[in-house]
Amino acid sequence: MGNSDAGVIIGFFLLIVYFIGFVYLTLIWQLASVVSVLEEARGIKAMAKSKALLKGNMWVATIIFFKLNVLAALLQFGFQQLVVRGRSFGLVDRVAYGVICLLLLFKLILFGLVIQTVLYFVCKSYHHENIDKSALSDHLEVYLGDYVPLRSKDVQLEQV
């Protein structure tokens, strides 16, 4: 008894549906992490806010998600080839390549966080939501040390 063609087709269809759902939930979750830092919403409220913000910009967010994940996969492949399977390299070379891959991974993670924050502001601007920089500055003072407060009260991104 082998796999029937119908079973393979149904399995492939379920795999595609699973993958689409995984990407969708991951995008909402990543934007919700930015919403929970920059706004008062937490948990389910942050997820609902990020879902509302992503409407109209889902394709942009999806393309960014895939590009970042392709870079992460290439970095992992390079690590496996140079460090894990690098039998022709000596121990010092493999450690050096490992450190370089680690530093590149750190840069990629930080770049991803910056891109998520920029996507948040783009989505807010797309929905014509007000971005009050002075209120945002006051809200983020917990995370900052000494800072100079902004002078403007109500600034839209479109005006900058």
Specify if 145 maps to a domain.
Answer: no
Instruction: Quote the domain boundaries for residue 62.
Output: 5-129
Measured between alpha carbons, how far is 141 from 7 in angstroms, rounded to an integer?
Answer: 56
Specify if 138 maps to a domain.
Answer: no
Specify if 156 maps to a domain.
Answer: no
154: pLDDT strictly greater than 70: no
Instruction: Please give the share of the chain, as a percent, with pLDDT higher than 90.
Output: 59
pLDDT of 148 reads 63
Query: Between 151 and 55, whose confidence is greater?
Result: 55
How far are the Cα atoms of 2, 10, 15, 16 from residue 7, in angstroms, in the given order? Answer: 10, 5, 12, 14
pLDDT of 54 reads 92
Q: How many helices (H) and strands (E) does the chain have?
A: 5, 0
pLDDT tens across 38-85, in order? Answer: 888 888 999 999 999 999 889 999 999 999 999 999 999 999 999 998
Which pLDDT band holds residue 87 (cuts at 50, 70, 90)? confident
pLDDT of 117 reads 92
| AA letter at 114 | V
Specify if 151 maps to a domain.
Answer: no
DSSP string covering 49-115, please? HHHHHHTT-HHHHHHHHHHHHHHHHHHHHHHIIIIIS-TTS-HHHHHHHHHHHHHHHHHHHHHHHHH
- Calculate the average pLDDT of the chain: 86
pLDDT of 152 reads 59
Specify if 36 maps to a domain.
Answer: yes
Specify if 148 maps to a domain.
Answer: no
pTM for the predicted model, two decimal places: 0.75
Specify if 90 maps to a domain.
Answer: yes
Q: Structural domain tally of the chain?
A: 1
Specify if 11 maps to a domain.
Answer: yes
Q: Which two tokens stand for residue 88?
A: 């022709």
133: pLDDT strictly greater than 90: no
pLDDT tens across 103-131, in order? Answer: 999 999 999 999 999 999 999 888 888 77
